[in-house]
Each structure stands twice: as structure tokens, then as C-alpha cells.
A and B are shown apart, each in its own frame.
Chain A
């Protein structure tokens, strides 16, 4: 077994063990320590992977391939390139933080169990090279997140959980149809039934079929990311889910969508990606501006950050469909950056909620005077989100805009407005919550040591990646330049009528 197998197996086994731990209630904390121990082991493995990872190559590393359901050509096929690697790292870091952030939970067993299962599913999604296997992991993330939201969430979490489920599930249904159709077409062409990504990359598709398949894949990923206009589940969900779960939802799972776009839409349908770049770029740019405008109108900090996420994910989509190494590397790096600062900001919001029981900006105010260190950490994270050079958000955003400017100038010119807007809504929110004089006499405790320790690694990463992102970029760049090359050099597809495209799907690729 390679490191990748263990990366998935360890939390999966943990998730199996946890329900069997029958402990008296006063020892429930042991379950939490168990969860922390596993997540730290995962982090250790991820860092180990990053260290032994070979630079200067774009091929998959740590590959493991076991035939699984032979009759259908399904394999346990894992591998990591630079993009997978940095997302595995991000996942490992954020799960460790989320495990530490858990507290005051009634049923630790269920909580830790679901979190571990979620970690296994995320790790699997980022490394699966078999489309069926990917689909299983991708879907599997839904289950624990649903239960984490509905059973441990705040307020109207039941409704939010269902909305989350319905949206993402609808997308997944299209993804399944897309995968099965593609595999059938490939089987028909070659007589070789397989779900392997590298094999399916050579499927020859008529143009219209390719467009439909591209959209089927993209729909699932657009919901998960989220991309405008499939985002309306996210504010409700982010607002209702418990904080450690939001850290994962916004920090890690949102990246599944963007990752899927790169790994499957770009790699399987390179020519179609070129063809439909205008659509995805436009949705990205609209998302950037729309998310920022709505965020400026929000009174609730949690919902504001959700819309800010929509805006920032728009940048990532932009970089993916710019088809330049600068843009794609920027997007990949920005996935990590966004995960880190989003996790930090949600942890901070959780601490405000704990102290005040509200995230309504109009009911807060004057907190900087009461808790200067809290305010200092908060503004640092906010500046990271705004994209202040020297902090992590800048490098990704800059590369994305530069990469887009080189290939699709006018989209970059419009998107750069997002740089102004993010300063508008974030600084306005900061002013309402932290500046001015407090509206009431209640004290507001400054950061406790436990809270500071939770935030410290994230803040350190925000600063470090702002000044020295090279360790990540040197691992990302070979992969992104290979993918950009693949997309740019793929031969253009020939036309065929829509009816034959539909027929080719329904009959399994009759052409």
C-alpha cells in the first residue's frame, strides 16, 4: 500500500472504530483525542508526501492501481500530481484544525465519526484517478456533511441541510450520467470498458456530445464550488452548520468543485473547454462582482463571508479557464489560500458567536477596544482576504488576473473590479463590528490561549505563503503547465447535429 492508500484508509478505519467505542459519558473526550490523533497522523503523512514529492514532473506520483470490480472495468486507482498534492495538504491541515476546534458537543462519537469519514472521502476525491471511484468519494462527502449540518448545526439547520443536499445531489445526478455516458462511448469506440481517467482522455467525441458531457460534469462541480447562479445553498449552509464543519465545507469541499473542473472538465474535454471558455469566464466574472455586491448588502457576518466566498471562487474559476500557466497555477494556489483564510475567518466568527450569540453586524460594534488582540488577528485575516501583498491572498489573485489578462484581456479588466469591491465590503464589515464605541456594557473576552493556538497555524500560513509561496508553486507549476499545454494543443472537434449527440448518449455512442 502506498501513502495514498493509507491517507484514505486511516480515517476510514477510524470512522469504523469510533462507533464501536463504548465509553462512559465522562470519557467521551477520549473520542475527541482519537480524532485529533488520526488527523495529526494524516497531516504527518501529507507533509511526508510533499517532501518526497518529485519536482519538475507532471506525472502522477504515489500511484496505486488495484482491479476492483473487474467486470465493469472499475479500479482502485489513485495518484497525485501537484494539484492533488497541495489540496491533500490543505485537507490535512484543515481537518486537524477542525478536530481541535470541536468543543461542547453532546455526542462526540457521532461527530468524530462523521468528520473522519468526511476526511477519508475528501482525500479520496482529490486523488482518485478512476471516474467511478471519484464519484463514490465525491458522493460520500455528502453524507457526513449532511449529518454534521443537521444534527450539530445552529438554528434552522435542518432546512439548510436539506437545501444543501438537494442542490448538490441534483448536480451529482448529472455527473453520474456524464460519467456513464463517457464510459459507454469509450467502450463502444475501443471495446475496452474502463473508468480510468488517463484512458478516457483519448475518447473521440463529436462536438455536440462533448459539449453536453462537459456541461454535465461542470454542473456538479458548479454547485459544489459554488459558481453563480448555483450558489444559493451556500449562505444558508455556511450560516447553519457548526463551525468545524463550515471550516471543512468552505475550506475543503468548495475546492472539490474547482478541482473537478480542472481534473475532469479540462482533462477530458480540452477542446470543449476552449469552446466554452467564454461561458465559464463570464460566470466567473459575474460571480466575482455579484458575490461582492451581495456581500456588501449583508448584515450577517456569516452570510457575508459566504458571499465573499462566491466572489473569491469566481477568481479561481477565471484562472482555470484562462488557459495560461500563470492563471491555472494562480487558481490552484488560491484554492489553498482561500481554504486557509476562510477557515480562519469562520473560526473567528465562531468565537464572536460564542461570546455574543449573534453575528448581526448591527448588534455588534466597538469590539476592537474590548479585545485588541482578537481585532488584530481578525484584521490580518481580512487583509489576507482583500489580497494585501505580503499576505497569501495576493499571490493567487495576482497570478489569476495576470494569467487571464494575457489570454482573455477584457475579462481580467472587468474582474479586477473585484479587488476594489472586496475592500469595500470587508472593511465596512470590520468597521461596523470592531470600530466605534461598544453598544452595550457587556465585556468581550479577548482571545483565550486555546483559541490563539487554534488560529496561530492559520495566521502563520497566511503570512508565510504571502512572502514565500515557492514551495507550493514549484510543486504546482509542472502540472499546471502540462494541463495548459494539453488544453491548448487538443485538436478542435468537428461538428455534428444535436440529434446525433443525444442519440450517441442514449444509445451509448452510436457514431
Chain B
């Protein structure tokens, strides 16, 4: 199991060495070093996978125990890592995507004043993410959980000279902390009920929980997941997070960190399987988030904001899967989403990069001929996320929708409408950015945008291949459900049971395909020759349903006012005044009436010291005797 240690160890080592010598390695040395650290981790992850392939049954869960982290009373928590089918899927796609994004970043961050620091944070992030997914107990998962949160904070505010970037980083951290309360309380409740926080004990022992407790635990952890995975009502930070450099958006705010909430729920599936009401709540919140965010995505003009809302929407789908008990489908969507969404961000980054950091789609257009690789990879990503067969999204989103249909038709209806919106808003992005008239002249000051360097396009091509073909991981035919069979030891007992008639088995995927093509068609009809349509971009959607504005007006301003009032008025007058008043009362009653003078205090104290010195000398003398 040393190989699992290497998976986590390489990025840690990379982080430490970059921290110490990164400045000297410089640009691009530090970037290559960071990339190699993560690539080595990927190789080790493949090694872990092969190692598990040689095992069978329950021995596919292996634990690497290092040392006791902390312990008091009946509570003990270890630094120990777990390789099982679920964590192996996670480490494979995390390290794989992270390697490509590291590589891309060498090109994207070129000539940035803090180039080496970027890779310091990026390696620390990968380390934290790997701890998160391989930890064998709740507190260690929390260490990774908070670690990725801190890295997200540092990377969102990477260009901290911009006040918006600084605020966005802080906001992300604070909103995530709201969720973290749920993580901590959930952990406490688990410990109280099961007397352990180790997955080796609590997952097999989950059935001992009463239904009520299981519901409470599930909802507490879902609060944490809603923060990290940007679900209603805590999703607003993810939009602001787009202030970070685009590779960060791709790695952290699309492919990996934001899916940690989904991973956590999947990890705790034995508890979730007992909590039916909580599961239904999660499914409903998930599908509403998916719909609300997809609507908002249709009206954005900042390319990264479109993609950010799209990410929120896709995370909603994953939560829908979690809530309906379709854990395999949720993980499947997570993996395929990591490919196509990372690709969408990196392609967007390629466009932004070539247009001198312009992000408004109004100032793009007609870039397909100038940037063919970027355009084609983006189109593949679009068809994948839209769910056009045979691209990966067709299979992964399809299996989520199928399971939702089995659970509740209404969930399925909302999900299908959202799928239509998805194909449409991404189509809008593709047509407005890559086709139509060129509107970027004033941004580029005359010169033509050009395709990004090879170090950036190679990751695009690799991801495009993955996005197109990842459906092969889990085809809906018996014998070809590789992911399903691989994950069976983890989710086996809790899989959904429903029966679809043979007609439904044909009609459901057919509907998905038709809806996807309809979305593509609408986008083509409406946006092929337009870059602006006010009637399709209402303010309420553009402003994200005014949810962020509402929070700002109530919590942020109200909180600030409360803090200032407490600091300026309550503490100095009420609290200090009360204590001072009592003191005054005593003096008045005692008839002292005099103020305590500085001189008085001094002489009193000096006499006290003199007395004590005498006593101490006396003691020492008597002790020495």
C-alpha cells in the first residue's frame, strides 16, 4: 500500500520543494517541476488501481495507517488512508486532470510576476484534494476539505491587487465555512452514535443508526456538501470565484474541488441509504439548483460566468443522482463532467488569453478560423455536456435521468428541461464566441488573435478525446457497465431498485437525445447571427435571480452594521459602563469618593513587591536550611 502513500506524497513533496526553491526554479522551471510532481502522482494512482485489480472482494479495500493524529477520552483519529474502488476512481481522474491543467498553466501563467507561487498553491491543492478523497476517517477528510478550501481562497485571490479578486476569495472561504459547521456537527453526531469516526467502522456499522439520527447526519453533511459543491442556497461564491486565473477555475471550480461534496455524500452512502427524507431533500435541492443555474447561464455575457453557472447546474444533476440513490451515476457524471468542463474552461482560457484577458462574449466572435483547435475542442465539449449521442454526457446524464425517472417523474421532467437549457446555453456560447461577426478589434488593437501555444493545446486535445469517449466507462449494456461493476463493492447494498418497462428503456434515452438535439437546434437558430438579444437575456437571469444581491443587502450589510454598532456603542458604553458603574457604586458606598490615582497604585504595588521579596528571601533561606 506504499503506492497509495506515493499518490499523496508526490504533490506534498512538490509543494514543499516549490515552497523552498520555487523562486530559484523560476519560469517555467517551477511549472515543470510542479507538473512532474502531479504526473508522478498520476502514475502512482494507476499503480494503486492495478494493485486493487489483483485483489478481489472485500480485500479491495486497503488501509494505509501512518500514525495517531490526536486522541482524548474515547476519541481517537488516525492519519490513515484508504484505497477502495471509490477512492481509486477519484484519485485517477483528479491526478489525471490535474496533470493536464498543470501543463496548460505553464503556458497560461507565463510571465506572471508570481509564476512560481501559482504552482506552490496548485501542488498544495492537489495534495489536499488527494487527502480528501483517500482519507479513511471523517476528520482527515475534513483536513483535505479545508485544505482545498484554503487553496481555493489563495488561488481565487491570486491577483489580490484587484479588490474584486480579494473579496471573492474571502467570500468563497466564508460561505464554505458555513457548510463546514455541518461537517463538524455531523462528525460529532456520528462519533456519539457509533463511537468512531473511521470509515472502516462507521460504514459497515451505519445500519445501527436509528432513522432519525441517520436523517440528521445526512442533512448535516449535505449542508457541508452544499457549501463545497455550490448548491442552493450557498452557490453564490462559485460565480465570484471566477476572479481566479482560468486554470484554477478549470481545476478547482469545475473538475475537482467542487465535486468534493458529491464525493462526500457518495462516501457516506450507507448512512444516506437509511435517510429517505434527507435523500429526497437532496434530490429536490439538486434538481432545483440544476434548473435555476441553467436558466441564469442562458443570460450571462461573461464567458466564465456562463461556464460557472453551468458548473453549478451540473453539480445539481450530481446531487440529484445522490438523492435518488443513483450513486454510480453521480460518480459517472462527476468523471465525465471533469473532462468536458475542464475542457470548456481551458478552451475559454485559450480564448481569453488570446484576447488580452477579455471575458465578454460581446467582444468575441468569428474565432473558429483563427483558433481552430480551441474551437473544435470547445465544440466537442459542448456536444458532450449537451448529451448528444454518442458523446460522454449522453450516457452519464442519461443514467442520472433514468434513475430520477424511476424514483419520481417530476424530478425527471425538471431534469429533462434543464438538459434542453444546457444544450442551448452552451450552443449560444459556441456560436457567439466562435462564429458570427468579429467584434474583438478594439480589444486586440488591430492585430489578429492567434491559436494558443502547443503547451496549452495539447491538454485541450487530450481532454477532448476523453470528453468524447468517456461514455465507454459505463455503457448501459450488461457486461459493459465497467464503472458500475467496479464500484459495486462500495455501493452494492444500497443500489436503487425500480423496474422500467422495455418501452421506457428505449424511450428515455431517445428523449434525452431528442432534447439535446433540440437545444443545439435552438441555439443555432437564435444565435448563429446574433451576439445580443435583449429579449432572451432578461435582467433577472443576468443577475442570477438577484440571490447574491439579496445576501449582500441582508447578511453582509446587516452583519457589518451589527458589528460596528456592537463595537462602537455596546462594548464601550453598555458593557464597560456597567462594570465601571458597579465599581463607581462601590466607591460611592464605601465613601471613598476619590479616584484611584496613578501614584497611589504605584506606591501600593512597590510596597507589595518589597513585602514579597522579603517573603521569598525568607522562603529560600528556610528551604536551604
Contacts and interface: CB of A to CB of B under 8 A. Distances in A.
A420 B191 contact: no
Contact of A398 (B139, B615, B616): B139
B180 to A, nearest CB: 7
B552 interface: no
Nearest to B611: A136
B166 A436 contact: yes
A425 B559 CA distance: 11
B574 to A, nearest CB: 9
B178 A420 contact: yes
Contact of A390 (B147, B174, B578, B583): B147
A416 interface: yes
Contacts of B567: 293-294, 296-298
Given A399-B72, A405-B188, A412-B188, A468 B579 contact: no
B409 interface: no
B71 interface: yes
Interface in A377-428: 379, 383, 388-390, 394-395, 398-399, 401-403, 405-406, 412-413, 416-417, 419-420, 423-425, 427-428
Interface stretch (A34-42, A158-166, A353-361): A158-166
In this complex, which of A139, A140, A293, A403 has the most chain B Cβ atoms within 10 angstroms of its Cβ?
A293
Contacts of A146: 601, 605
A356 B173 CA distance: 29
Interface in B335-350: none
Nearest to A310: B571
Contacts of A484: 73
B576 A232 contact: yes
Interface string A10-41: 00100010000000000000000000000000
B184 A477 contact: no
A321 B117 CA distance: 44
A457 to B, nearest CB: 18
Nearest to B180: A419
A170 B609 CA distance: 18
A282 B579 CA distance: 19
Chain B contact residues: over half helix, strand or loop, or mixed? helix
Which among B163, B572, B575, B616 has the highest number of chain A CB atoms within 10 Å? B616
Interface stretch (B399-407, B463-471, B617-625): B617-625
A58 interface: no
Nearest to B182: A416
A408 to B, nearest CB: 12
A231 B612 CA distance: 28
B579 A229 contact: yes
Contacts of A297: 560, 562-568
A72 B622 CA distance: 16
Contact of B170 (A298, A390, A427, A474): A427
A23 to B, nearest CB: 22
Q: Most chain-A Cβ atoms within 10 A of its Cβ — which of B143, B563, B615?
A: B563
B161 A470 contact: no
B494 interface: no
Given A412-B188, A473-B70, A293 B566 contact: yes
Contacts of B450: none
Contacts of A9: 620
Nearest to B188: A405
B522 interface: no
A413 B153 CA distance: 26
Given A229-B579, A232-B576, A298-B567, A402 B75 contact: yes
Nearest to B144: A389
A437 B164 CA distance: 12
Contacts of A324: 73
A326 B160 contact: no
Given A324-B73, A395-B70, A477-B72, A136 B612 contact: yes
Interface in B120-167: 139, 142-143, 146-147, 150, 153-154, 157, 160-161, 163, 166-167
Contact of B619 (A76, A372, A403): A76
Interface string B3-22: 00000000000000000000
Contacts of B612: 136, 140, 143
Contacts of A469: 69-70
Nearest to B167: A431
A244 to B, nearest CB: 20
B609 A143 contact: yes
Contacts of B174: 420, 423-424, 427
A1 interface: yes
A477 B71 contact: yes
Contacts of B572: 232
Nearest to A399: B72
Interface in A454-505: 467-470, 473-474, 476-477, 480-481, 484
A423 B126 CA distance: 23
Contacts of B79: 467
**Listed residue (A165, A166, A402, A437) with the most chain B CB atoms within 10 angstroms of its CB:** A402
Nearest to B600: A162
B73 A420 contact: no
A398 B184 contact: yes
A247 B354 CA distance: 52
Given A389-B147, A420-B177, A437-B161, A296 B184 contact: no
Interface in B570-607: 570-572, 575-576, 578-579, 583, 596, 598, 601-602, 605
B67 interface: yes
Contact of B184 (A68, A419, A467, A470): A419
A431 B170 CA distance: 8
Contacts of B566: 290, 293-294, 297
B536 interface: no
Contacts of B178: 420
A399 B70 contact: yes
Given A142-B605, A436-B160, A401 B188 contact: yes
Contacts of B154: 379
A66 B623 CA distance: 7
Contacts of A474: 71
Contact of A366 (B69, B161, B184): B161
B192 interface: yes
A68 B160 contact: no
Contact of B71 (A117, A139, A470): A470
A161 B596 CA distance: 12
A230 interface: yes
Contacts of B147: 388-390
B185 A294 contact: no
Contacts of B619: 66, 68, 76
A420 B179 CA distance: 9
Interface string A109-141: 000000001000000000000000000100110
Contacts of A425: 563
B181 interface: yes
Nearest to B565: A297
A143 B560 CA distance: 39
B563 A229 contact: no
A5 interface: yes
Interface string A425-441: 10110010011110000
Given A162-B596, A435-B161, 16 more contacts: A139-B608, A230-B579, A232-B579, A293-B566, A296-B563, A296-B567, A297-B560, A297-B566, A329-B73, A395-B69, A398-B184, A399-B72, A419-B181, A436-B160, A436-B161, A437-B161
Kindly list the 3 A-B residue pairs having the minimum CB-CB distance in the complex, ordered from nearest: A297-B567, A325-B73, A297-B563
Interface of B: 67-75, 79, 117, 139, 142-143, 146-147, 150, 153-154, 157, 160-161, 163, 166-167, 170, 173-174, 177-178, 180-181, 184-185, 187-189, 191-192, 559-560, 562-568, 570-572, 575-576, 578-579, 583, 596, 598, 601-602, 605, 608-609, 612-613, 615-616, 619-620, 622-623
23 contacts: A165-B601, A229-B575, A293-B563, A325-B74, A326-B72, A329-B72, A383-B150, A389-B139, A389-B143, A390-B147, A398-B184, A401-B188, A402-B75, A403-B73, A423-B173, A424-B559, A427-B170, A431-B167, A431-B170, A436-B160, A468-B67, A473-B72, A476-B72
